Structure 1
């Protein structure tokens, strides 16, 4: 079994040599090994303690400006040679595109996070979770939950001299479930996250787990929103994530290359409320400052005081659009505000606390309509009953401009650190 950095290094060099020998003009190879130790819960009961190893190669080759890529799980020399030969044929049949390229002269050796699992910690956190559920939220059914340790080792090489190796360990917990009483039940709810350690807090205090369980119990009984109106939302971190994903998509390759980004020409201009601040968190638990196109990712501030500071094209997107390349790792944080969550809610005359947004792809201009889930009405500045399926509609770009409050509290999920946001002018029905 392959478990060491030396093994990955040797496999990556072997694969790159085979790619060169097959006739590729340029190539990128990533050898990776993921080790997982996980304790699972199903229907409020511990169900499985397991460990697993996943090893694979990701290969990308370019010939005459034509590119193809593949993943390989069978790492035997014969299977690897056969797959690389097929990849060469795939590349020759691909469309020619001068923007295809691999990274050059990138070098890194990264070791971060816990490199070995502590199984007693996993068992202890799961015990805390189940005891909390039984004591504090007995109507909650934990349909699925896990406590785990993950170690991801990788080694990436390119024919242009890049050599990037990483070993990233982290702990994680996730909980998914519904609350039930008799024949009635809530909508499903969930939360999860990663951390470098779990000993520093009770299981219920990680990733908003305890609050999620309490809120879900209170969502067994729901009431309709009533007549249509225009009001405010207080987006919880799970819902804020949907808004963040839309914004990041507007700044990245797909929209930039298609010419459909609303912010293509907005660098240096306000794109949101002065309360909006977005910067990278590439060193967060379970993350590494390495991009998918094999570059070191320097810290980046995308939005400051509502002003857009940068777009985020990849190497390919940069060569396609002429915009500066901005390598991205994983991990983002939105700036905290100076207002308590309680004060955010108290400032809303009519609206809702939104736990989760369920919507399709917004229109090209940002217009959307969707169902708010795991949500509570707000009337006169006070949280009211849980809402039956309620629709909101608006425009994603306008939502960024209509942020009227950001909480000083933030939920840390590892790759995401997010506040609650109060946003005006949403249409309820």
Structure 2
């Protein structure tokens, strides 16, 4: 760690000049500073209030179409020259690929979110959370939790003339743990997220209070009672697994490897008309720039079930010939529906409210089989007991088509804003 404050623009300019002097044909450098204030919770008690500060450089260099990347915390001129010499050797021995390139002509300066943390506010939120636990869910053990403020400042420069900088602050809260009653215990459960404001009641953020209540109910579990075909109501935490699979199908690895189910499906219906996915690159903790140095305009991915856009990076675009669509590291919004959550559950004859999917990587065609965790049986529209050792099987692509309801309620976790989604025709065992 460097002592004191450094000028990130000056450090990025110095690093870029050294990269050029080292012989790189193209280069991208990012000078970054992160300041973190956090109050930790362990075993239902606040434990550690601390502030940490770090600086680092992220370097990418190209030589004759060959690329190598590294990051470093030693920002001295001597340290940079030594690392860049090693990086140059790494690049020269890498495979040659004409698709490698850095961004050109990108300009942005982003300032958003709270630029300083309020430690008293964070302490108040932790106290509120622990008081709620003690009063409403005393069998719940918050094994780990925190309230924190992160300020990330950076400056990115490329040999192509891109100049991107930002200062993005946000608060975060999270809780992880299990519930216990004598010798019995639940499975672990977790939720958390990012916000620009923590002035509301702590248990109301990111569904934390509901997660504590649900986990207590999971101390006693029962099987689903045999094989059947039914519906799932995915909580936002479980919806995130479905979203992650879809995003993987639309981005570099699957597109380049030729395994994407949707490479030739732009303009076609790939999901229920109830499903829409759009960017929200100004979300808490998110900056509207991509990791490869591009400004990221708003983008619609799926509109009422119709695929609007793939998301190849610059490299993916040059590799496949597809249109380049830069995206940020987070900031996604599945549009809320019109169905109240209670009505959504009430419409299920037999199935489950699913808190978490544990299924590994689905097959190339989207087929999967996995355990549902933090889940409850639904019978006759009534939410029942917590489930144990229950598996569901289906196809991820078909799940998107079999969406029959989307809740009007959402949970805004910063990086994602997601509703509950009801999906039919899953095989339970």
| Same fold flag (TM > 0.5) | yes
| 1:390-429 superposed matches below 5 A | 390-429=390-429
For residue 2 of structure 1, report the CA deviation from its aligned partner: 6.3
Residue 268 of structure 1: aligned partner: 267
TM-score under structure 2 length normalisation: 0.99
* Residue 309 (str. 1) matches residue 314 (str. 2): no
Residue 382 of structure 1: aligned partner: 382
For residue 384 of structure 1, report the CA deviation from its aligned partner: 0.6
* Residue 145 (str. 1) matches residue 117 (str. 2): no
For residue 149 of structure 1, report the CA deviation from its aligned partner: 0.4
For residue 75 of structure 1, report the CA deviation from its aligned partner: 1.4
Residue 101 of structure 1: aligned partner: 101
Any idea what SS the aligned residue of 2:7 has? helix
Residue 124 of structure 1: aligned partner: 124
> Structure 1 residues 356, 243: closer, same or farther in 2, change over 3 A?
same
Return the alpha-carbon distance in structure 2 between the equivalents of residues 181 and 114 of structure 1.
41
Return the alpha-carbon distance in structure 1 between the equivalents of residues 120 and 388 of structure 2.
41
The superposition leaves residues 220-240 of structure 1 with CA deviations (integer Å, 9 ceiling, x where unpaired) of: 000011110010000000000
Return the alpha-carbon distance in structure 2 between the equivalents of residues 257 and 3 of structure 1.
44
RMSD of the alignment, in Å?
0.8
Residue 182 of structure 2: aligned partner: 182
Return the alpha-carbon distance in structure 2 between the equivalents of residues 279 and 235 of structure 1.
19
> Structure 1 residues 176, 77: closer, same or farther in 2, change over 3 A?
same
Kept after mapping to 2: 8 A contact 1:2/1:8: no
Residue 33 of structure 2: aligned partner: 33
Residue 52 of structure 2: aligned partner: 52
Unpaired stretches in structure 1, ≥5 consecutive residues: none
Residue 361 of structure 1: aligned partner: 361
Residue 223 of structure 2: aligned partner: 224
For residue 154 of structure 1, report the CA deviation from its aligned partner: 0.6
Return the alpha-carbon distance in structure 2 between the equivalents of residues 227 and 82 of structure 1.
63
Any idea what SS the aligned residue of 1:290 has? coil
The superposition leaves residues 299-336 of structure 1 with CA deviations (integer Å, 9 ceiling, x where unpaired) of: 00000010000000000000000001001012101011
For residue 74 of structure 1, report the CA deviation from its aligned partner: 1.4
The superposition leaves residues 106-148 of structure 1 with CA deviations (integer Å, 9 ceiling, x where unpaired) of: 0111111111111110000000000000000000000001000
For residue 367 of structure 1, report the CA deviation from its aligned partner: 0.4
Return the alpha-carbon distance in structure 2 between the equivalents of residues 370 and 154 of structure 1.
40
TM-score under structure 1 length normalisation: 0.99
Return the alpha-carbon distance in structure 1 between the equivalents of residues 213 and 67 of structure 2.
50
Return the alpha-carbon distance in structure 1 between the equivalents of residues 205 and 152 of structure 2.
22
Any idea what SS the aligned residue of 1:132 has? helix
Residue 297 of structure 1: aligned partner: 296
For residue 359 of structure 1, report the CA deviation from its aligned partner: 1.2
Return the alpha-carbon distance in structure 2 between the equivalents of residues 18 and 302 of structure 1.
39
Return the alpha-carbon distance in structure 1 between the equivalents of residues 197 and 33 of structure 2.
21
Deviates more, 1:74-83 or 1:238-247: 74-83
Return the alpha-carbon distance in structure 1 between the equivalents of residues 77 and 21 of structure 2.
14
Q: Return structure 1 stretches of 4+ with deviation > 6 angstroms.
A: none
